[in-house]
């Protein structure tokens, strides 16, 4: 195939050429995959059969709704937020791009903490925005005073926090989130991808009194639907009405729509699994803390960060050779030396701890 002229590639926007694609490093096929904060539990077979029966009735030749109204109504019942204030996306990552399209202007300021899920900064840069990233406290907790100072200095159209935060696993207190919402004259996005594991109150409680707050959630983690891509945001209905003008239609396919509706009807299953995963991560943290030379960060999620007295990259490879895949967090300057592992099934956790102990 003939290579393109470099001058042709120069026609691609500078902001795009300056970015890197989002790729998960070190991916290998191993028996125990604990590197992407997924639920260790697939849907039960009877539920899958129920879904397969429903899929047989789906006309694949017809477009889905422009916006999935039945799924929106199901999410409204689930959250208690009015349907007019809910926007569903093809995963919360797709909605992150919609946020960039709606709120980030060339040269506009966006304030966020670091370290934080890298996609947020990437989206801001892709839309020509200027990132003001506030370093964490020595404990890796949010520097709320620093975020407030940055908001006051930059007057950003958008401030973004993730609570609990990926990659640190730490949550921001409800009082601190309220403080940010009260400080900014722009929008405050609170990413609650790990909301179901968080002991802190949800920022959903602020939506009644703070029309500048947007809450972002996903069905990938606690609901175990990472492979089907369902995310949603909650905001004031007037804000969602404006975002719909920028939102591409048909982003949620019929199969995903039906699956989301079905799983939301099985709230008992979700509660059981959240309880199981929460117990699993507590046991995993306790076991890690008992290992000599291992330092563990607190967590309010389904994953935990740890480090020990050896190179993280080499340790990751040793664990992978033993059939366990974890994540090297060295791409974040504040987290060099740390590895991240998510809670798996009891047998997966045991395999991880056995492999780790062997290499300490």
Domains of the chain listed by start with CATH number: 25-44+268-359 (3.90.1150.10), 57-266 (3.40.640.10)
Q: 291: burial class by Cβ within 10 Å (0-12, 13-18, 19+)?
A: middle
Which mean pLDDT values do the consecutive 10-residue runs of the chain (360 residues) have?
Answer: 88 90 73 92 92 92 92 97 97 94 96 95 95 96 98 98 96 97 98 95 96 97 91 97 93 94 93 95 96 95 95 95 95 94 95 95
- Position 20 scores a pLDDT of 87
Put residue 155 in one of left, alpha, beta given phi > 0 → left and psi -120 to 50 → alpha: left
- Position 262 scores a pLDDT of 93
pTM: 0.94
- Position 283 scores a pLDDT of 96
Phi, psi for 210 (deg, rounded to 5)? -130, 90
- Position 21 scores a pLDDT of 85
Q: 302: burial class by Cβ within 10 Å (0-12, 13-18, 19+)?
A: buried
Task: Find out whether 259 and 219 touch, Cβ atoms under 8 Å.
Answer: no
- Position 27 scores a pLDDT of 63
**Strand order of the sheet with strand 187-191?**
86-89, 231-234, 213-218, 187-191, 158-162, 109-113, 130-134
Task: Find out whether 166 and 301 touch, Cβ atoms under 8 Å.
Answer: yes
Alpha carbons within 13 A on the beta-carbon side of 290: 8
Give the DSSP H or E segment for 268: helix 267-289
Strands (E), 231-289: 231-234
**If you count them, how many residues does the chain have?**
360
Hey, how many other C-beta atoms are within 10 angstroms of the C-beta on 121? 18
Q: Which two tokens stand for residue 121?
A: 């900064």
């Amino acid at each position: 195939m003939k290579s393109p002229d470099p001058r042709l590639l120069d026609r691609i926007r500078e902001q795009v050429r300056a970015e890197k694609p989002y790729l998960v490093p070190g991916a290998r096929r191993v028996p125990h995959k604990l590197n992407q904060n997924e639920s260790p539990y697939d849907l039960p077979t009877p539920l899958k059969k129920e879904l397969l029966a429903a899929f047989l009735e789906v006309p694949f030749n017809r477009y889905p709704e422009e916006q999935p109204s039945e799924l929106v109504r199901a999410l409204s019942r689930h959250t208690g937020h009015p349907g007019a204030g809910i926007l569903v996306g093809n995963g919360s990552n797709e909605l992150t791009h919609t946020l960039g399209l709606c709120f980030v202007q060339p040269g506009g300021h966006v304030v966020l903490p670091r370290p934080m899920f890298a996609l947020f900064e990437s989206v801001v840069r892709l839309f020509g925005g200027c990132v003001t990233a506030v370093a964490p406290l020595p404990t890796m907790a949010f520097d709320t005073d620093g975020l407030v100072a940055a908001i006051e200095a930059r007057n950003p159209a958008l401030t973004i926090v993730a609570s609990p935060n990926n990659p640190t696993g730490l949550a921001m207190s409800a009082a601190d989130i309220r403080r940010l919402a009260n400080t900014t004259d722009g929008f405050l996005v609170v990413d609650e991808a790990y909301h179901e594991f968080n002991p802190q109150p949800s920022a959903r409680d602020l939506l009644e009194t703070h029309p500048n707050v947007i809450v972002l959630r996903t069905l990938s983690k606690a609901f175990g639907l990472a492979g089907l891509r369902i995310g949603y945001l909650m905001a004031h209905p007037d804000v969602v009405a404006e975002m719909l003008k920028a939102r591409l239609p048909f982003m949620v396919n019929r199969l995903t729509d039906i699956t989301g509706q079905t799983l939301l009807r099985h709230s008992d299953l979700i509660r059981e699994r959240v309880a199981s995963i929460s117990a699993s991560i507590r046991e995993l943290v306790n076991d890690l803390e008992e290992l000599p030379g291992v330092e563990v960060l607190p967590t309010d999620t389904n994953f935990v960060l740890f480090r020990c007295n050896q190179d993280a990259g080499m340790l990751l490879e040793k664990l992978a050779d033993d059939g366990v895949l974890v994540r090297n967090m060295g791409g974040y300057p504040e987290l060099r030396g740390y590895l991240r592992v998510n809670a798996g099934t009891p047998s997966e956790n045991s395999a991880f701890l056995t492999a780790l102990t062997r290499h300490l």
